[in-house]
Structure 1
Amino acid sequence: MIPGASPGLYNEDLAPAKERNWGPFSIFNVWTSDVHSLWGYYLAASLFLFCGGFVNFIVAIGVGSLIIYFLMNLVGYAGVKTGVPYPVLARASFGIWGANIPALVRAIVACFWYGAQTAAASGAIVALLTRTQWFADFHANNHMLGHSTLDVICFLVMWGLQLLIISKGMETVRRFQDWAGPAVWIMMLILAIYLCVKAGTFAVTSDIPMDVLLDKTKDAGVPGTPGSFGSLAAVAAIWVTYFAALYLNFCDFARYAPDKAALRKGNLWGLPINLILFSLVAGVTTIAAWDVYHEVLLHPDQISAKFDNWFLAALAALTFAVATLGINVVANFVSPAFDFSNVFPRQINFKRGGYIAALIALVLYPFSPWDGSAASFVNTIGATMGPIFGIMMVDYYLIRKGELDVVGLYKEDGEFRFQNGWHVNAFIAAIIGAIFSSILPNFTDWLPAWWGVYGWFFGVAIAGVVYYVLRTAALGAGAKAARA
């Protein structure tokens, strides 16, 4: 219990973490759960096409993965030191009431991703079922809500299973991810080995023709031809942007780590090492799938659906579905659960917040806003969160030097009240950053075509610089007035 905490700012779920039992293995499995999903594979395989070759792919993904590791440690250290979840940490820069806005932005993004991942998991099951003629006919001839009826049924089943997991609380989430993440690694290796055996070779040199690569990548908005420096830089940027949501709320998990050393170790194995190896397997599988089927197959369920062995196809579909449930629980349920709870702490606890997020994802399903190019979807969604991350990191590390009054984050009349609970300078910086990261690239043609690929980076930099200037000017003016 925080002494003197305001009921409008505090509940047990938002309080600093008491139990710190998430060691390196659990932190590592945050990342295996987050990356080892159908969407994670789909993105990695899609990015492989932009590189034109295997070595280029590993270099681009490697550079991006090192950047991700550095950024996750930045926000993770804040979580370890303060023990608070993301929306509470945001109060330090946006104000005790203003923090509800970045919390809701993160929650809405999570709802989009929640729907996208659930649809991917259900798609794996649909691909398995339609190997049977009766289900194939049912899938082709029965429709509702803009989808086949089979799609809808499988989506609802996957949607409900996730609610069962999360209803048991964060410790159940930890136990689930500790086996779900490694399970998909095993399945990925089986998938790659099966295709390599079928192809008769283990190939790390792509023989996918350039005209095919150009056709498959023409609508993704990535500059340059596959294999060019522009394309490789874009691949690294998109890979970094894919994690934009978790840069904000990784402290939701890091706060349960016992110390920075455990966090660093888990991040080292879970991010650069795991990401590069995962991408390597995705690349090998994409090449082997081309050699065997002479098609560019970017979805694992598309590949498993072609397996002659029904048992292997079933094992692949179920494993990828479970793994995708894992990322949804980790990345897209935990965050909005805390975020919605932060807005109404007296009415909404962790579980209720998660249920709200799941309901919003269900409402979005008929419209499927996540359909289309993986790269475009990632960039559009990720860019919205760059300004928030830039402001929070500048505030924590450059303004406050890593020192934060945690108790004050739960008090209405303390340091973080700013202007009646809102920090105007933070919102000015966020709006300016959002103009250049999201609004101009997506709704106008005023900026170069390549700008949107780097939207998240522009948002971080522009909002961070503007915030630093405004905040230091305000602190300087305050100090001057105090002396007078």
Structure 2
Amino acid sequence: MKTQIETNGIVTLPPEVSQQMKNSPLWNEDLRPTTTEEHSWRGFNFAALWIGMCLCIPTYTMASGMISLGMNWYQAIFTIFLGNVIVLIPILLNSHAGTKFGIPYPVFARLWFGAKGAHIPAMARAIVAAGWFGINVWIGAGAIDTLLSASFSLWQGIPFHTAIVFALFWLLNIGIAYKGPKAIKILSSIAAPVLGVSAIILLIWAFTSAGGWGPMLSAPSKFTSTGEFLTYFFPSLTGVIAFWATMALNIPDFCRYAKSQRAQIVSQSLSLPITMGLFSFIGIAVTSTTLVIFGEAIWDPVLLLAKFPPFIIFLGTLVIVISSITINIGANVVAPARAIENLYPKRITFAMGAIITGLFAILMQPWYIMSNFGNYIFGWLGTYGALLGPIDGIAIADYWLVRRRRMALKDLYMPDGRYNYTSGFNMNGVYALLIGVAIPVLGLFIPPLRFMWENAWTFGLFISIFAYVYLMRNDKSVLSKEEYEAITQFTNETSVSSPAANTEAVVK
């Protein structure tokens, strides 16, 4: 019996099958596969999404912080560009699964960890996203607090004034996230051009204030040898990769709406590395300018903002607030809210998941993470990269190497389906994750293996790929080509006349 339709490389469930699945405890309106009509995102939508998320304050702080570490401008740019090209590979590989089968990340994780085991990678991703949510709220709140301090002399005398602003800005972010992930489509379209223009204005200020490119980019590297540079380069590269390692996992949450594979591949391949490279250059150039003007490298944009007149602080605060909200809703709410929702799909909604995400964000103490650059890139980015690298590896290995892009879509929503494994857990995925995390961690305790920890995301990814492929080599859940063709009705756009016709062709 045909239980799914593949049209021009995109698989959907026929309406009758979807109706049958509505009583499943693994099904709800947020987690179900997208319909043909919902595959509406074109290249512009993905470009706007990435531009809006890349033009964010954490990108600026990551880039400018490398100047404070001792890199010169071209060393920092090279590190950031290379890291983004590397992380683009798993982003595109996982995007293919979301586009083809229209499933969100927590459902995708059922494929490699089982219906219950999927909570492990989903919650790991959720905790990291909650931490980023808190960081962006803290940055936005800091800008607002700076504006109020510059505008009202009595503001700084109010007890806990920063905490008050943080709480109010937290509520604003939660309120927007409450409306669901489709809100980001409109928000990104508005934020992207505003942030782009603001970045150009900031660069012009740096250029004119420093007296040209020469003084702007004159900060020399503090490293006197290649070996000394590499000591900072590899941990920094891991931090850059880890910066988007979260999106490499939950990119199916967005690509499930893609109109075609080409739309998401081309737009993401261009928008991510180019936007990150250009905006990082602005952060690096402006930070180098602060050395010329103020005598110190100011990597925190909120501290830099405080040195300007109130009107400029107002404009800067507006830009930071837009940036913080855009990246929070786009990159840091959807994944954890979906993961929390997936714990109990019949009772927990996306909106409830968004609220719980916000509470997790507070527990992550973003004020501590942002207290210095070392905590930010080596502590925060480096540590969670060691966790997410192996999960990225397992996702890639399962979809591309083990299953070869074939799955039974209906079974992902069946408690007794082929992806239930043993009591809902695919122990092969669990074992591959443990191996992928444990081996790089050895570098923390064995000095000659320190390089493995400094490149934990990369080592963890490849180790987990090899481990998972080996462990899954004879797994009965894997569909053969013949089995896939037996359950799939292949068609194309010209032969599809109506949903009713599709249903009749599939269920007959």
Same fold per TM (> 0.5)? Answer: yes
Distance 1:408 1:130, change over 3 A: same
Q: Quote the residue 1:330 is aligned against.
A: 330
Task: Tell me the residue number matched to 2:420.
Answer: 417
Look up the match of 1:294. 295
Q: Is the 8 A contact 1:238 1:453 kept in 2?
A: no
The one-character-per-residue Cα deviations of 1:40-88 (angstroms, maximum 9, x if unpaired) are 2101111344573223333332222222222211111111001000010
> Is 2:27 aligned against 1:26?
no
Letter of the structure 2 residue corresponding to residue 70 of structure 1: I
Separation in structure 2 between the aligned mates of residue 435 and residue 4 of structure 1, nearest angstrom: 42
Partner of 2:172: 161
Q: Which residue of 1 aligns with 2:278?
A: 277
Alignment of 1:135-284 (within 5 A): 135=154, 137-138=156-157, 142=159, 149-203=160-214, 206-208=217-219, 224-225=227-228, 228-284=229-285
Q: By how many angstroms is 1:349 displaced?
A: 1.5
Q: Give 2:387's match in structure 1, choosing from 372, 384, 389.
A: 384
Query: 1:432-469: per-residue Cα shift (whole Å, max 9, x none)?
Result: 112134x5456x45664443331111211111111111
Counterpart residue identity of residue 305, structure 1: A
Question: Could you tell me which residue of structure 2 aligns to residue 455 of structure 1?
Answer: 456
3-state SS of the aligned residue for 1:21? coil
Provide the rounded CA distance (Å) in 1 between the counterparts of 2:72 and 2:369.
Answer: 31
1:68 aligned residue: 87
The reply on whether 1:399 has 2:402 as its aligned counterpart is: yes
Structure 2 distance, partners of 1:330, 1:177, is: 8
Number of equivalenced pairs: 457
Going from structure 1 to structure 2, the CA distance change for 1:41 and 1:353 (only over 3 Å counts) comes to same
Distance 1:283 1:16, change over 3 A: same
Identity %: 28
Instruction: Please state how far the C-alpha of 1:237 moved relative to its aligned partner.
Output: 3.0
- Measured after TM superposition, the shift of residue 21 of structure 1 is 2.3
Q: Which moved more, 1:200-209 or 1:399-408?
A: 200-209
Tell me the equivalent position of 1:126.
145
Structure 1 residue 256: Cα displacement: 0.9
Give distance in 2, aligned partners of 1:292 and 1:63.
30
* From 377, 383, 406, the counterpart of 1:375: 377
The CA distance in 1 between the partners of 2:470 and 2:150, in whole Å, is 60
Deviation at 1:366, TM superposition (A): 8.3
CA distance in 2, matches of 1:340, 1:66: 30
Structure 2's unaligned 5+ residue stretches are: 1-14, 481-508
Q: Are 2:104 and 2:256, in contact at CA under 8 Å, matched by a contact in 1?
A: yes
1:43 and 1:135 map into 2 onto residues whose CA distance is: 33
Distance (Å, rounded) in 1 between the aligned partners of 2:367 and 2:298: 25
Matched-pair contact (CA < 8 Å) for 2:403–2:478:
no
Deviation at 1:299, TM superposition (A): 1.5
Aligned in 2, Cα 1:282/1:415: closer, same or farther, shift over 3 Å? same
The alignment yields a C-alpha RMSD, in angstroms, of: 2.6
Provide the C-alpha distance between the structure 1 equivalents of 2:182 and 2:197, rounded to a whole number of angstroms: 24
Greater CA deviation, 54-63 or 279-288?
A: 54-63
Moved more, 200-209 or 7-16: 200-209
Whole-angstrom distance in 2 between the partners of 1:93 and 1:382: 20
Offset at residue 130 of structure 1 (A) = 2.3
Give the TM-score normalised by structure 2: 0.84
Closer, same or farther: CA 414–192 of 1 in aligned 2, 3 Å = same
Could you tell me whether the CA contact under 8 Å between 2:64 and 2:283 is conserved in 1?
yes
Q: Aligned equivalents of 2:59 and 2:282: distance in 1?
A: 12
Which residue number in structure 2 is paired with residue 361 of structure 1?
A: 361
Q: Matched residues in 1 for 2:459 and 2:191: separation?
A: 35
Which secondary structure does the structure 1 equivalent of 2:347 belong to? coil
Q: Deviations over 1:174-230 (max 9, x none)?
A: 10122123322222221221122122223486333556x89xxxxxxxx953xx345
- Give the Cα–Cα distance (whole angstroms) in 2 for the partners of residues 462 and 429 of structure 1: 8
1:101 aligns with one of 120, 125, 130: 120
Judge conservation of contact 2:140–2:320 (CA < 8 Å) in 1.
Answer: yes
Counterpart of 1:146 in structure 2 is none
Counterpart Cα distance in 2 of 1:271 and 1:112: 22
Q: Partners of 1:403 and 1:50 in 2: how far apart?
A: 46
Distance change >3 Å, CA 454–CA 292, structure 1 → 2: same
Runs of 4+ with >6 A deviation = 476-479
